[in-house]
Amino acid sequence: DVQMTQSPSTLSAFVGGRVIITCRASQNINNYLAWYQQKPGKAPKLLIHKTSFLKSGVPSRFSGSGSGTEFTLAISSLQPDDFATYYCQQYNIYPLTFGGGTKVEMK
């Protein structure tokens, strides 16, 4: 299985701040990397697919980048609605696998 490692597991930031979350795959996943946002008691929501493509309706303050095995999710100008847990996921190889999550907390 492809192991997905996210860091950090938790981060604190101010409203208006910028955060970067890193996701590392244990092997090349050909950029088939997605990011999801999850709020307590809710299902994850797709934000970004194929490393950098925003799902329709996702604010442009979210961006994704990377290649091969190293990927990042950046959120510029954090809004109150952005405080949540973020997961990366590879869909290049079965079984599909997820990172352990990064909780973004308000400072």
Partner 1 sequence: QVQLQESGPGLVRPSETLSLTCSVSGVSVQAFYYNWVRQSADKGLEWIGRIDSSETIRYNPSLKSRITLSLDMSKNQVSLSLNYVTAADTAVYYCVRDWGSLAPLDIWGQGLLVTVSS
Helix, strand, or coil (residue 81): helix
User: Are 100 and 9 within 8 A, CB to CB?
Assistant: yes
Q: Which of 32, 52, 54, 63 binds partner 1 (CB under 8 A)?
A: 32
Report the 3 state secondary structure along 27-49: CCCCCCEEEEEECCCCCCEEEEE
Q: Which of residues 49-88 bind partner 1 (CB under 8 A)?
A: 49-50, 55, 87
Label the pairing between strands 10-13 and 102-106: parallel
89 makes contact with partner 1 (CB under 8 A): yes
Near partner 1 by CB under 8 A, which window of 16-24, 58-66, 67-75, 94-102?
94-102
Phi, psi of 86 (to 5 degrees): -115, 140
Q: Shortest gap between Cβ of 49 and partner 1 (angstroms)?
A: 4
* Closer by beta carbon to partner 1, 24 or else 55: 55
Interface positions with partner 1 (CB under 8 A)? 32, 34, 36, 42-46, 49-50, 55, 87, 89, 91-92, 94-98, 100-101
